[in-house]
């Protein structure tokens, strides 16, 4: 049995409180305020331990960056391609799709996670304004 260190306990408690899906570096900076003596390697090592034990989720975002989620319930994620924020998306699983997949491949699906990519409400508004500005500039050039 692996003992529960005070660092691991703090890491798990704090990650479950926040909904921003921080990177290990971002999370380390947050934890440093509560426990100044904690090191980045301690945070990183414990995030991996907790991930391997199913107590936190690791979300791959981009080529070299992972983000962490303290909510291990079945839910999906939306990744904004501009601001890089990640939003939890909670809706009931599509049981019909699960059954079709199980039947087709002969497996039992115990949970599913999906990732959606696009522009969040804030960035979508900015992107639309930028498009309109470019169209207006193009019209002036004519």
Q: Domain map of the chain by residue range?
A: 6-141
Going from the C-alpha of 20 to that of each of 15, 17, 128, the distances in angstroms are 9, 10, 25
Tell me the pLDDT tens digit for each residue of 46-97: 999 999 999 999 998 766 789 999 999 888 899 988 888 999 988 765 667 8
In whole angstroms, give the CA distance from residue 30 to residue 55. 19
Q: Would you state the CATH architecture of domain 6-141?
A: Orthogonal Bundle (1.10)
- The per-residue pLDDT for range 2-31, each reduced to its tens digit, is 677 889 999 999 999 999 999 999 999 999
pTM of the model: 0.76
């Amino acid at each position: 049995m692996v003992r529960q260190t005070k660092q691991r306990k703090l890491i798990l408690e704090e990650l479950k409180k926040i909904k921003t899906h921080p990177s290990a570096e971002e999370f380390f900076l947050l934890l440093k305020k509560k426990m100044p003596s904690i090191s980045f390697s301690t945070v990183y090592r414990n995030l991996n331990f907790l991930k391997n034990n199913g107590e936190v989720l690791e979300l791959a975002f981009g080529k070299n960056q992972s983000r962490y989620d303290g909510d291990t319930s079945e839910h999906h994620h939306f990744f904004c391609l501009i601001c890089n924020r990640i939003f939890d998306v909670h809706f009931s699983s599509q049981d019909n799709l699960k059954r079709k997949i199980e039947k087709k491949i002969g497996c039992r699906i115990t949970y599913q996670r999906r990732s959606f990519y696009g522009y969040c409400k804030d960035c979508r508004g900015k992107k639309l304004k930028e498009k309109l500005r470019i169209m207006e500039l193009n019209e002036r050039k004519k």
